[in-house]
């Protein structure tokens, strides 16, 4: 599976989950401190950039999806030494 295929699979999966299932998955895979960071950073960044309130509210979710995709890549895809420094 490629990185792009994994990203599409993750997006499709999230579209099919109920809120309770998403919350359970997050509780099992994302530290609370990370969730709090994404919420604060997304809000601060969006506000500083003058983005609309709807966009500012969605930024933490976008950050979270990127984080989850990276976690999945590390767990599922073969190692790619070119991205490690």
Per domain, the residue ranges of the chain are 3-77
Tell me what pLDDT residue 82 has.
Answer: 46
Tell me what pLDDT residue 39 has.
Answer: 93
Tell me what pLDDT residue 1 has.
Answer: 75
Tell me what pLDDT residue 9 has.
Answer: 87
Sequence-distant contacts of 10-13: CB under 8 A, at least 24 apart: 10/65, 10/68, 10/69, 10/72, 11/65
pTM: 0.73
Task: Quote the mean pLDDT of the chain.
Answer: 85
Find out whether 9 and 68 touch, Cβ atoms under 8 Å. Answer: no
Q: Consecutive sets of 10 residues in the chain, 85 residues long: mean pLDDT of each?
A: 83 88 88 93 93 91 88 76 46
């Amino acid at each position: 599976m490629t990185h792009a295929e994994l990203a599409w699979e993750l997006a499709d999966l999230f579209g099919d989950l109920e809120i309770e299932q998403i919350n359970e998955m997050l509780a099992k895979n994302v530290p609370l401190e990370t969730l709090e960071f994404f919420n604060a950073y997304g809000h601060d960044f969006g506000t500083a950039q003058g983005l609309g309130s709807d966009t500012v509210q969605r930024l933490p979710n976008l950050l979270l999806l990127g984080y989850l995709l990276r976690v999945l890549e590390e767990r599922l895809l073969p190692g790619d030494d070119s991205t490690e420094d």
